[in-house]
Chain A
Amino acid sequence: MNEPARRSIPLTLSINGDEAEVLAPAHWTLLEVLRYKLRLTGTKQGCDKGDCGACTVLMDGQPVLSCCTLAGLAEGRAITTIEGITGALPRAFDVCGALQCGFCQPGMVCSAKALLDENPQPTTPEIKAALSGNLCRCTGYTKIIEAVHLAARDLDGKGDRRTASIPMPALTSAPADGFLVLGGRGRKADALRKLSGAEPYTDDIALPRMAHGRILRSVHAHARIRSVDTSAAEALPGVYAVLVGAELPTPYCVIPWTPDETALAIDKVRYVGDGVAAVAAVDEETAIRAMDLIRVDYEVLPAVLTLDEAEGNKALVHEADWKGRPRKDNLCKEVELSFGDVDGGFANAAAEVNEAWFYEGNTHAPIEPHCAIGDWGRDGGLTVWSSTQVPHYLHRELAKVLGTPQSKIRVIQPALGGAFGGKSEPFDLEFCVAALAKKAGRPVKILYTREEVFYAHRGRHPMEMVMRVAGDADGRITAVDSRIRIDGGAYHSFGMITTYYAGQLLTGPVQMAAYRFKAARFYTNKPTCGPKRGHGSVQPRFAFECAIDELAHKLGLDPMELRRRNAMSSGERTVNGQLLPSTGLAACLDSVSAASGWAERWNKLPRGRGLGVACSMYISGTAYPIYPNQMPQSGVQLRGDRSGKITIFCGASDIGQGSDAMLTWIVSEETGVPPDDIVVVSHDTDLTPVDLGSYSSRVTYMCGLAAQEAGRALRQRMIEGLAAHWKVPAEQVGVGLGTWYDKGDPNRSLPVQQVLQIAEAHSGTLGTTGGYRTREVGGEYRGGSIGASPAYSTTAHVAEVVVDEETGVVRVEKVWVAHDCGRALNPTLVEGQVEGSVYMGFAEALMEAQLFDERGLHTGPNLLDYKIPTAMETPEIFTKIIETLDPGGPYGAKEAGEGPLHPIIPAIANAIFDAVGIRLRRIPFTPDRVRAALAEVHPC
């Protein structure tokens, strides 16, 4: 049947009290009309088809999914979008830190509003139920639930929900002793912009004449491309440009040594979803039709889908390397290192554990799908807007692949709707929008479908781990031997780093006398794995923390006590030579032990209920940049203005974790200029000094130090100016928040704006810089710098689970976390990172899995089949911040965004053992696996 011509119909919609008349295609959803016709882009799109709740709006006061509502069916109904919601709820979300990336919050706030309108004083279970159709990937829901309670309390106090509002929260509040700002629970400057729908994310941007692109993807896991016929697509009216792989032949990779990927496949496709050709057309629907007209002639090849097939060289995923040298196997990277007397450690042990664990792959699934826009100006310069967390690396690779000087390329990262490592390298769409825009002579946007996000992947590597761990009678760990096979997928990504991390990051905060590991990453015909939150080290940490739990059992020791006996202290070096300038493991263990009632409850709870403990450490940035250079890893420039404002320029990527806010507070701390008067210009390669990006938990530490240095330089200029003005020694000038004062004269003070003016008059235009340079760290052996970090965070968890032995269902009811992040520059943001980590890790333990069938086909690349937990299943999380100040960190700060994910998986596994006596060594712990393990232990 011929498709009916696209026909637009006039619609009259009532939106936020306004009548909107719009002409829109009859088959468009309310979401499409809101976003792309009315430019009400506060309502977000996350999953394509009704699975995530990001597009939630209110219709006659009831939350509905605008992506599954035909716009024509919305006529005559009162529609409320985030742009129309003011008052208590957005304020409460802001105060509570209930948004990180902010992408799910518009929908979340709509659902919460409907709840409070109907039930002004909801209970926590009622809140969870009301929000159960809104997925959030950042927060673990904890602070969202707090925010709804706070908004409800406010409504209660005022009695009239229509006028009630929480007072505008302060950007600063109750700083730590001796600080002006830091340590307080200040709000994020970007929060209210996001909560009003005003902050543009990449897909919210529309440029004049902009075309829409799509990428045609392989339907085979492994095939040779005989030919690509694009003639029918090019002939389709409305098509502006078609692109094939041969047009962009330069290979790239985020790691400059291993460029094994091209923007689009040229000779071979290597996984289902590998890009083959791209089109740009007048609109997305035309682009889709054009894409369907491209004919690709494939010669299907045997696909390598398992580690055994990869190691056995069933076929070669890559037949040659990037220099054209033939490859003889699928080995991507192999690392073998040994430290101390491993064999002796096993020989003299009182007990050992020697088992195999398997960590299933899973993915980041940020609610915002990847999106990029490319635009060439008349001057031959390229601008790319992209949902990336590494604008600088993207900048470099764009220049290389496009053959355009870096000076002619500008990369802008708009607000980012979640990343978690999933947007930390260049992706095909970024090259395609640039190349298509050049061919089409107009801006081009590509927005991934949710399916494409799953194919882009770069998520958690499946790892097969055989680990042998031994201890002496006192519970000291005498030796660890780890053998790991890593399923890497089709391309390298960060593969070399992953392979090192799988071994190098295991050696603390639990000390071991001797350690040996061998890790090998293999290519397979599946989407490429990469750095997901806790890159490379979450998997071996699962095996190790389960193994030492078993070891404690064999030695007759409390597993909490075994960890205490092996806890490293600040200033110690790991067996592989990493210096831990600060670590608070003992304090973390004490904290979770006391909070969970470990002494009274562990090993004593009724059958079916159990407690488990685990701990970990994680890097605060990597010692060295991805490409060797002597330039700073992070740079900050400050502009002090006579208006009283400071502008911070920094390349750091705020991906929701709050790096813009962190920069603001540090500069405020140093200068006394209130956070409200500080503006951040970030992640724009034309405007901001380079920061390498948001990965490896490096931003607070490295960028924080750069901001501190720049802030101190500006403060010094201000002090000198004011000291000269007052004719007092510099030491006599006091810095206060908003007001500077004379330490020698209690009656003399000046507003900080005047201090800036005096300083400018004194020494000229106010601009300062700061930078973070890597210090020498790491072991003195090949690879010793990988995994070396200037500082390490430490975490301990106790999880409480309930195991239903009949169904096999595991519920994680409570998680107590103690995280040592050094100085908590803002406790609310630290807690948010911890809660989000626990959420993401518990999901990996219980339900998430990136699985492929015998064709290499992802078994469910959508947010219905791939299970992201809702507020209903997410455990109650009790976070305690431990501040073991780091001597090198900014004000003593270390990372908080990735470390706290690691322990939750083994803590759950260990709790399941405490509950029902089974050791689960393969994630996820699905009910059928639990039942099967129970049946082995208790055969009927």
Chain B
Amino acid sequence: MLRMTPFELVSARSLDEAVDLHSAVPGALYVAGGTDLLPNIKQGLFSPPRVVNIAGALPAGIREESDQIVIGAGTRLSQLARSAALPALAAAAGLVAGPQIRNMGTIGGNILLDTRCLFYNQTAHWRASLGHCLKAEGSWCHVVGGPKTCVAAQSSDTVPVLLTLDARIRLRGSGGDRLLPLRELYAFNGMKHLKIEPGELLTEVVVPRPAAGTVGSYSKLRTRDAIDFPQLGLAVSLRQEDGAIAALDIVVGAINPQPKLVPGLHAFVGRALDTLVIEEIAELVFQRSRPQGSVAGDVAWRRQMARVYTRRALHQMGGLRDSEEAAA
């Protein structure tokens, strides 16, 4: 079977110790759940000399404060999936992989997932047969057919939802703590898609409490209803006031290295969420989504699904509001 190359395993009892243990050995990597890291080491994508166990050091659990919800980075996805604090985030966490991986994987790891690509997440033998790729040992991106840009996809299910919620992440580095808007974390570069310093440790996710009446949703496109990474993930956050859209944010995930808000949606503020408007929004999302072939599934079909999923999410969320109002 696939075996990992040897490394030293050290365990941190505190966040500061974790940062120190990491910085002491160049190339060291953190591990909390291991569900993203270990397969990659097994496939020869990384061969860290040291792995720093932060499972015991990371804060875990969900804390509701008056104006924000604070999620420890060590919170397991299965725990997040059971939380009532942020329903769309819970739904997304519950759709990650399969039950076992949700019991292991943490929200911190899910935010910092390495980007994924059909030409990258393969064994060393396979990649040698390919002639390697831009992201690992090679000089050519087989997805776009060029030497410059790596389009490996950020494939988290929770990140699109957290982006619609304007979450911030708390990072611990050798210089202390900083709070970074999640919307500033990602870059359009599959080789280096995280704008953080080496060794910086994600410790908490801080989500501003959504304005009253905000509803969110996450829908996931995949072949199987378990195990699979998203072929496309769609997060929507919607608030309506007096029958009109008051706030609307949409993120399409798993299409490229940099998940971000679909631009231009503010134009719909003030308009009623009727079928016609929904079609316009779906068309905008379709226009703004250009899925890369780094993820399985026909690219044109995936792009169409951005439209279909948007339409369905908005119909459902609009309907939900209507029925809630009717009930009230």
Contact = CB atoms under 8 A, between A and B. Distances in A.
Q: Do A and B come from one complex?
A: yes
Given A56-B100, A130-B99, A857-B130, A49 B2 contact: yes
B139 to A, nearest CB: 17
A64 B103 contact: yes
Nearest to A926: B298
Interface stretch (A4-12, A258-266, A602-610, A822-830): A4-12
Contacts of A129: 99, 226
Interface stretch (B30-38, B175-183, B262-270): B30-38
Contacts of B103: 59, 62-64
Contact of A807 (B35, B42, B298, B305): B305
Given A65-B35, A447-B1, A451-B126, A869 B101 contact: no
Max count, chain A CB within 10 A of own CB: residue among B1, B8, B122? B1
B39 A68 contact: yes
B99 A132 contact: yes
B4 A27 contact: yes
B53 A72 contact: yes
A544 B306 CA distance: 37
Contacts of A251: none
Interface stretch (B43-51, B194-202, B208-216): B43-51
Contacts of B50: 4
Contact of A64 (B1, B2, B104, B226): B104
Interface in B81-113: 97-101, 103-104
B280 interface: no
A413 B213 CA distance: 64
A134 B49 CA distance: 32
A806 interface: yes
Given A49-B2, A449-B2, A29 B38 contact: yes
A362 to B, nearest CB: 14
Contact of B301 (A5, A864, A865, A928): A928
B164 interface: no
Interface in B1-21: 1-9, 11
A526 interface: no
A63 B100 contact: yes
A928 B293 CA distance: 14
Interface string A195-236: 000000000000000000000010110000000000000000
A927 B49 CA distance: 44
Residue in A27, A870, A871 with the greatest tally of chain B CB atoms within 10 Å: A27
Interface string A806-850: 111000000000000000000000000000000000000001000
Interface string A769-795: 000000000000000000000000000
A754 B132 CA distance: 72
A63 B224 CA distance: 20
A62 B6 CA distance: 28
A45 B1 contact: yes
Nearest to B311: A806
B171 to A, nearest CB: 23
A338 to B, nearest CB: 41
Contacts of A135: 227
Given A69-B104, A870-B224, A132 B1 contact: no
A28 B301 CA distance: 41
Given A53-B100, A861-B126, A25 B39 contact: no
Contacts of B308: 806-807
Nearest to A133: B98
B224 A873 contact: yes
B225 interface: yes
Given A69-B34, A133-B100, A861-B126, A27 B301 contact: no
Of the four ranges (under 10, 10 to 19, 20 to 34, 35 or more), the interface on chain A belongs to: 35 or more
A284 interface: yes
Contact-residue bracket for chain B: 35 or more
B225 A872 contact: yes
A931 interface: yes
B95 to A, nearest CB: 11
Given A111-B99, A217-B125, A132 B225 contact: yes
Contacts of B122: 860-862
Contact of A1 (B8, B49, B225, B301): B49
B125 A219 contact: yes
B59 interface: no
A620 to B, nearest CB: 34
Contacts of A873: 224-225
B39 A70 contact: no
Nearest to B97: A133
Contact of A285 (B3, B41, B221): B3
A73 interface: yes
B7 to A, nearest CB: 5
A133 B2 contact: no
B223 interface: yes
B319 interface: no
B99 A63 contact: yes
A53 B98 contact: yes
A447 B31 CA distance: 28
Given A72-B53, A111-B99, A451-B126, A49 B9 contact: no
A617 B91 CA distance: 46
B7 A27 contact: yes
A27 B221 CA distance: 35
A26 interface: yes
Interface in A57-87: 59, 62-65, 67-70, 72-73
Contacts of A855: 129-130
Interface in A28-54: 28-29, 32, 45, 48-51, 53
A799 B227 CA distance: 26
A3 interface: yes
A48 B2 contact: yes
Given A133-B100, A864-B227, A869-B224, A808 B301 contact: yes
Contacts of A872: 224-226
Contacts of B226: 129, 132-133, 870-872
A72 B99 contact: no
B55 interface: yes
A49 B78 contact: no
Contacts of A451: 123, 125-126
B128 interface: yes
Nearest to B105: A68
Contacts of B34: 68-70, 73
A575 B165 CA distance: 69
A197 B58 CA distance: 35
A564 interface: no
9 closest A-B pairs (Cβ-Cβ)? A133-B98, A132-B226, A872-B225, A928-B301, A928-B298, A49-B39, A219-B129, A48-B2, A26-B9
17 contacts: A6-B6, A27-B9, A29-B4, A45-B1, A49-B39, A50-B101, A63-B103, A64-B103, A64-B104, A284-B3, A288-B3, A808-B301, A861-B122, A865-B296, A870-B225, A871-B226, A928-B300
Given A3-B47, A25-B6, A867-B223, 7 more contacts: A27-B7, A67-B38, A68-B101, A369-B1, A857-B126, A864-B228, A927-B301
Interface of B: 1-9, 11, 27, 31, 34-35, 38-39, 41-43, 47, 49-51, 53, 55, 78, 97-101, 103-104, 118, 121-123, 125-126, 128-130, 221, 223-229, 296-298, 300-301, 304-305, 308, 312
